[in-house]
Structure 1
Amino acid sequence: MKKQKACGINRLMGTIILIIVMTPVCGKAGVPRTPDIISVSEPQTLYGSKTSATLWAKVKADIGISRVWAEIYPPDFSDTVVLELKDTGKDGIFKEVCKEFTLKGIYDIYLYAEDAQGNKSQPGVTDVTTEPDEDNYEADNTFSKAKVIVLNEESPQKHSFYKAGDQDWVKFYGISGQPYVIEADNLSDLSDIVIGVYGADGTSSLLPETDNGQTGGDERLELTLSKDTLCYVKIYDKNSAGGKNTEYNIQINLKHAAVYARFQGSTTDAISKAPLGDVTLETGEKVTAISDENAEGNYAMNHPISPDFSNPYNLTARLPGYEIFTIPVFTSESCSGGKSCFKTYAVSDSAGQRTDPEIIEWDGIIELIPLKGDINGDDKADLADAVLGLQALTGTGSEKIRLDYIESHTDVNGDNKIGMEEVLHILHILQKQETE
């Protein structure tokens, strides 16, 4: 690997020369000179202590290639690195590992090829960006990428502002009237943490942002909701510090927490068996959880222990586009392996009915059934679907029927036809909603 000095003016001159070089040059009869750089490695990002990246260029030439190389310009305009690439696979793809990405910032990279007659290609351009270490929850810089946080967890989530301007977002499902406490334990003497809480759309503020104005200080926010809703919590650093020594812990707890044990399970589509994320779960004790789309639909909740096995809690799971799932559960610390687990009534007949009072362990696996009667595919079964069902009976309105109607398994009686069964089912749902 060779190095050549590149001060600011030389780099500027190199840019001017590069513009000239990139102007198409043709030989006899208008044929472009060879060789050609067909494609190059995509831009890459290295985090933390990683300093190596593979660079490659796919080359086409009418005659033999004598060399392919990369010119690497560091972010501080110091010595340019020249890296020779090799076609070890004999497939026209020249590559090599560069281990020189030791500075933080963007490395501009220009790849060239030269044939046996000394003809030089136009450059292929790419870059490598180096960033400080991410925390375990990146990317979580917007509400749409917020990560699930388990309420009343004994150990906090550990985050950091891994680069200047970094934001972290977490989400939980909150219940009306329940007092929640959001605490950020600042482990840094560089950051001034700010906390904001937003509603289900990720933009409507539920409370003014909390900031005590102290660099290195902790933050605490209390929240009582006026309605059940998905909540997004944004945490950022007012000082825009980034990199090392910007760590903090985040926890969200019920203000008057009882003694809890941890219970967990998973959520899947009952037909496809695919894991489901963003399923909201709630028990009669007003304890909630959200299934994690980044963890194969798994969920966890910290819940009070059932005092006995006479009065179960109802565990309810909801996700738009699916039927509501409800099961009576008990929470117990006396389970196989000495662990805590859900327990429920035994089911022993083909109709899924309880035929005896036996209480057994339940694995927490929730299979959600696609919503019956959702004819237009908007994740609801409502008056619009009933009207569409009546139109289908008269041979009209077909353009509004979901294209995947058969595959969606939303047909009411399984004949994969839209008929009076669907209309009556939807009207029954609407009537039930009015009486509740």
Structure 2
Amino acid sequence: MKKNIALILFKICIVCPIFLLFCSFSVLCQENPPTDNYPPIIRSVSQPQTISCTNSALLYADVIDESDITKVWAEITPPNYQPDPDKPITKIDSIDLVHGENSFYQATYHEFKEEGTYSIAIYAEDAKGNRSEPTETTVTVFKEDKAIIVAGGGYEGDILWPATRKCANLAHYALTRQGYTKDTIYYLSSADTELDADNNNIRDKDATEANFEYAVKTWAKDGAKEACHDIFIYMVDHGGPEKFRMKSDLLDAKVLDSWLDEVQTTLTGKVIVLYDACESGSFIPSLTPPEGKERIVATSTECGESAVFANEGYDSFSYRFFGNLSLGAKFYDAFVSAKKSIQLISKQRPRIDANGNGKGSEDEDKALAEGINKLLGYEKTFADDIPIIEKCTSNQSLQKETCVLLYADNIKTTNAINEVVAVIRPPNYITGSSDTPITNLTRISLNPAGSNRYEAQYCEFKEKGDYHIIIYAVDTKGTLGSPEEVIISKFDLSDVIVALKTFVKTDESGTASRYAVSPVIDVNGDGKIGLEEVIYVLQKIAEGV
């Protein structure tokens, strides 16, 4: 057929030269039809949708094209996304939509984890490489996790009260930075008012057992569209064996457990409890969840241990934990960081029970806690940097000297430095009874010395043994920097002589005898002097030479 048409046109062209140009074009078109330069047409996409109690949503598009469609995909921008103008965008989260019936393409995206509205741009491309303009839609994630803060204490003569309020207020600040609001935080405090940075009163009611029960059993469930949200509870102040003290009430761990059990009969989300007080670890065995429910309990101490709340709470497990959380740290990362920091100046052992067996800090607990992507808020990270000290006083051994220059050099931070601090725990520091918080550790401020250096002379290294010191910076926003540990050891030759004389003494059988000694030079804690103690003392003396 094509050959006949071409022959007719050729004969006409011979008879009528005027059609020559037209004929040439017509024959060319017959042999080489026009190329498809048109992109696919996206006729419709999934409607804007709101999801709750799930991280998944179905995305789809109705796409047509004259050529074969090779790819349909969605590019997903999270809520409040603000690209860095100095850094090019190298990766945008995306998902390919799979061809289904007729002209429909679809896929389910499972990473809608942050509260807010995600912008979805859907594209299509054909076999000729023609790409469509994006067609946009949205997915809004609605979350309603709730938090309860209980600032216990507040009674007359409560030495812990300033530290309690400081830690509780920081907790409120950290939670709001992670997406909680005044309406999703219930704050119990014995103070008449608790003010946020904008001087708004954030206190809801007095810290009493009745108000705490109401917050857990009623408020935490009311207003929830679905019972799938998480509940976070933070308690801070004085504690005792299975006890938490509020102003005029003493809450038993088993009573709190009964409240949580009742709530979790209908709640499908998890309950997270963080308790910072002396003997807070005694709550772990009592707060086990009902079968099939998830409950995580973290405490700042083990059973029978005191908790540190030195320097009005700045040097405490809570302040370190919520400081890290406010900058976007995950729950377990904030827990581990706070644990490491507090153990530089205290012997307390923070615990976490994630498998619900009432024991705490087993290998399985750590694995479960590490494996949970989100535990508090939405892990929003912020540009604020934690102040970092690049160089500071090195470990030293002293003999007769009593003074050491404590310093910090070259502190890196995005905000201005407000203060550089050294906190000192002397040898054989007596903590007192296990239900008495530690509030009296020595704290000194290092003075600006120019060229980003801070220093101060400390001349109270008089006792024998190891002084444990942490040096850290605080910026103008109250962010605590990473602590640097320094150990100053105080020994002299008399310790070596005592150790050697004790070690070489023999009993009637000729065997060397070991006698009970001061813990100052008892390295392995067995209450005796041995070869380990002798070597240790000699090493310390050598370091000071």
Larger radius of gyration, structure 1 or 2? 2
The TM tier, using the shorter chain, reads under 0.3
- For normalisation by structure 2, the TM-score amounts to 0.21
TM-score of the two chains, using structure 1 as the length reference: 0.26
Higher helix residue share: 2
Task: Point out the structure with the larger strand share.
Answer: 1
